[in-house]
Amino acid sequence: MLVISHISLDPFQILENPIHVVKMVGIYALLVVPFFLSGLCISFLLAGIPEKAGQIYFCSLTGSGIGCLLSVFVIPLLSNAGAIMFSAFALLIASLFFNADKSRKRRILIIVLMVLSFPLVLGAKSLFEFKVADSKSMSEFRKAGLKPRMTTWNAFSRIDVFGPTNAVYSPGLTSGYNAGKIPRQMMIFIDADANTPITEIKNRKGELDFLLHIPSSLAYQLRKHSNVCIIGAGGGFDVLTALKTGMPKQVTAVELNDDIVDIVGNRVNSFAGNLYNRSDVRIENAEGRSFIRNYKGFFDVIQISLVDTWAAASTGAYSLAENYLYTTEAFTDYLGRLSPDGILTFTRWLLVPPKECLRLAALALSSLEQLGVENPENNIVFVGSKRIGVLLLKKVPFLKTEVDQIRKVCKTYGFHILYAPGLAVNNLFSKFITCEKKNAFYDAYPLNIEPPTDDKPFYFHYYTWDKIRLSKFSDLFSWYKEDVSYLILLVLLVQAVVFSALLILAPLGFSGKTKALRNRRSLRLLFYFACLGMGFMFIEVTLIQKFILFLGHPVYSLSVVLSSLLIFAGLGSLFTSKMDMTSRRGLVAALAAIAGLVLVYSFILSELSYLFLGWPLMLRAGISIFLLGPLGFLMGMPFPMGLRVAGKLNARLVPWAWGVNGCLSVISSILAVILAMGFGFSVVLKCAAVVYLFASLAIHTNFHAEGPMKV
């Protein structure tokens, strides 16, 4: 970790600067060592005492599940580096139990190492400072010699606060306004990339007039004295915009990151003008979509502005990320929480050719059609300013008086209308919104702008396979600059396959003792373990995504889903050690039950999550554990049972079974994302069911290949 923290690897410069390839290979080489050795530890145990595979696998899975839960607390407490050092300290504890009764000197040495390493656990945050890549927006502040005034860690992000600085955040500010009149701002960086400003408030006359020249203020100028909800409040820029331009009765500011809420509301409260402690501002520390689903009232304005890692989005890096704020179902949820004449407003980047804003239009039309709205083109207004596009959406058509008011505001402040009902505007937005054959438009457009769904929540993914046209190799470089998703996935997939071949197939092929490993029965067993690795990872990746909405926070989903699956899988593994397995029936039945349960979940999980979404968090977590427990219990059974079969057939098969299972797990985590981007997460679950059926067939055939096998 000490070496890696001093290597400034920038993945976005790999194709332009070969030195970053060397750095990446170096990091790979460093990371291989601890993971390879930790894999050997498990392999030694499984190979040495395969009859105890159930107990060993139980301890391994249960420890992993507990680790998932602990990470939520350890990372905020010790930082990312401290969490890694904590893991190293845990490994020293584990080493005490290997040959514990053989060498007193060894135990003393380990204890000395533990005493020496403990200060590293506590001081890792200051000892290990990782380099920020040049492609990250925070690097510009570092190059200017600025240092963060505070840095915090939580389980899902790092927060750095700079300033106040000369940098100005004013998306879409019209050219007619003097940017020098904008108050000073502090800048919050999330993971050194996305940023959100904290604007200084001194209660001087006219200090916030610049907000009238920001296009996202349009909705508030149409709906004065309203009840407002802002999703992704961040440092409070949109809250200020609402207060200045709309004079609302109440602003509900929803922010996922509790560290940002603490920074604005407490640590720099005086600089921010007591913004998050005003009586007319209510702070909700929650995920936006989950908050909207749980909220029982109605809003006159709901605003979502540039809520994502926007710097990464502009370079194409964000195309791999799921975002449940930008789906057809999400738009339907927002519209359901609007008052009868309320406005839903989104702010996104206005790029050339249009993609983000055009997809917003597709989502708006799709959600209105799902609600049964006739002539949905009358419910949409699009306004632009510089690189910013703003969507205004209503459940009812815009009135002519409202369109006239929009024209007046745009003329006053220098915005331009991209589309409004009844106005003759000749551009791509007008052509798309008014065209009758949307599918034909989607097919003809060079980018994928079809509306995402909760099952395929990849809003920033515009280059599907059918849209990628590479006439020559050099086209790869221009495509890479627009969307790195498939390039990343393909490179990762190739790497995983190559390393799997080097670590699994090559040793099998060149070992001098592979005669017993080359028969069909052995190969069927290895195929069986490959299926288990693939099926387990398909299920794990998909369920983590499926439960984000239900639990309201990515970290809650990650910790609850992973810990539940792993701990219950450990219990299932322990259960197999107490079973008297005298035939194939128990193993085949477990595999068939997993496949059947996964198929059922692929159809009912979305409906169940919506049914209980309004319940308190602890009850939802309990329901999640209740749903995941039986599946996890069953998923823990096939691996140790298969190991007992392998150990009975040939003890040399046990470490190879473990290796094949691990390699296919890595490969399948990448395949799961590729499949989800193309076909949706429900299809990935169905594929997992099929894979488990293949495993059932492989082990069933293996039992009968050379007569019954006792386990």
Asked if residue 678 lies in contact with residue 671, where contact means CB atoms within 8 angstroms, the answer is no
Least confident of 246-250, 467-471, 520-524: 467-471
Alpha helices in 150-301 (DSSP H): 218-222, 237-246, 258-262, 288-294
Confidence of residue 315 (pLDDT cuts 50, 70, 90): very low
What gap in Å lies between CA 351 and CA 462, rounded to an integer?
13
Confidence of residue 505 (pLDDT cuts 50, 70, 90): low
Average per-residue pLDDT for the chain: 85
Give the mean pLDDT of 529-550. Answer: 91
- In percent, the amount of the chain with pLDDT more than 70 equals 89
What gap in Å lies between CA 272 and CA 267, rounded to an integer?
10
**Can you give the pLDDT at residue 484?**
60
**Can you give the pLDDT at residue 512?**
52
Interval 515-537: pLDDT, tens: 555 677 788 888 999 999 999 99
At 132 the three-state DSSP class reads coil
What gap in Å lies between CA 233 and CA 169, rounded to an integer?
14
What gap in Å lies between CA 517 and CA 650, rounded to an integer?
8
Confidence of residue 576 (pLDDT cuts 50, 70, 90): confident
Neighbours of 623 (CB within 10 A): 17
Tokens 């001194």: give the residue. Answer: 202
Distances (CA, A) of 235 to 138, 163, 258: 16, 13, 11
Question: What sign does the dihedral 417-422-424-430 (CA atoms) show?
Answer: positive
Cβ neighbours of residue 349 under 8 Å, at least 6 residues apart?
306, 310, 313, 314, 356, 357, 387, 388, 389
Interval 139-189: pLDDT, tens: 888 888 888 999 998 888 889 999 898 788 899 998 877 767 889 999 999
Cβ neighbours of residue 233 under 8 Å, at least 6 residues apart?
239, 253, 254, 255, 283
- In percent, the amount of the chain with pLDDT more than 90 equals 41
Cβ neighbours of residue 607 under 8 Å, at least 6 residues apart?
none
Alpha helices in 247-287 (DSSP H): 258-262
